[in-house]
Amino acid sequence: MGVIAVMSLFGDRDLDGRWILVDPEKAFSRRQTETVSARIEELARIAEQQRQLHPLRDAIFARWPAFLRTYIEGAISTRANLKIDLKRRHDSGTLGEWVNTDRVLDLDHLENIRRVVDAHGEGVAGGVFQDLFAYLLGFIGYATVVSNTIGVPDVAASGLRGNESADQHSFSRREIERVAELCEKAGEVALADRLRKHGIK
């Protein structure tokens, strides 16, 4: 599915610094013109109505400030180096290695966004945020991420890693056996049997 992702910084404390996601096919399919113009408030209203995108929006919202804070120095340096670093980390599975998910204050988050805009100007900063958004999708679990400097779509993401992450947190046969033994010692024989029968996939 195609999604428009918009982020603003124009003085609205409820919208600034947050990614607004809109499915354009559902939002604008009735309009007959080839180009569409919409105010940020209208996009935000449409986004609220498109509940199918809320899980993705919520996952992005929960991680975006911390992700930007982690990569802020690269973001205010050069777009090319930032993109190389993000791609290398995503490919090696270390994209989230240094991300501290403690809450970032709204003022600090907006200041980080302003630092990027001040460093590059709005045009280049837009490209920097495009790359950050692309690899933010990688951070929340997409296996394949592409951020196009030229051409459309600007960002493509696919292969959501659901099963792989679950496998990483599963228990080994030895661990399950040890837990079963502890259950037996505690008098939980039925639970120990269930662990041995169903705990190993």
Q: Do residues 183 and 192 lie in contact, with contact meaning Cβ atoms separated by under 8 Å?
A: yes
Q: Are residues 154 and 110 in the same domain?
A: yes
Domain tally for the chain? 2
Helices 106-140 and 79-92 cross at an angle (nearest 10°) of 50
84 vs 70: CA distance, rounded Å: 15
Q: Are residues 110 and 193 in the same domain?
A: no
Q: Are residues 145 and 178 in the same domain?
A: no
Q: Are residues 139 and 50 in the same domain?
A: yes
Q: Are residues 16 and 32 in the same domain?
A: yes
Q: Are residues 22 and 39 in the same domain?
A: yes
Which pLDDT belongs to residue 119?
A: 96
Q: Are residues 105 and 158 in the same domain?
A: yes
Domain that holds residue 194: 170-198
Q: Are residues 161 and 174 in the same domain?
A: no
Q: How much is the pTM?
A: 0.75
109 vs 153: CA distance, rounded Å: 27
- Out of 93-97, 121-125, 174-178, the most confident range is 121-125
Q: Are residues 119 and 158 in the same domain?
A: yes
Q: Are residues 89 and 184 in the same domain?
A: no
Which of these ranges, 75-84, 122-131, 162-171, has the smallest mean pLDDT?
A: 162-171
Q: Are residues 135 and 38 in the same domain?
A: yes
56 vs 102: CA distance, rounded Å: 20
Over residues 35-49, the pLDDT tens digits come to 778 888 999 999 999
Q: Are residues 146 and 187 in the same domain?
A: no
Over residues 68-109, the pLDDT tens digits come to 999 999 999 999 999 999 999 999 999 988 898 889 999 999
Closest CA relative to residue 68, chosen from 24, 31, 99:
99
39 vs 6: CA distance, rounded Å: 11
Terminal-residue alpha carbon distance, the chain = 33
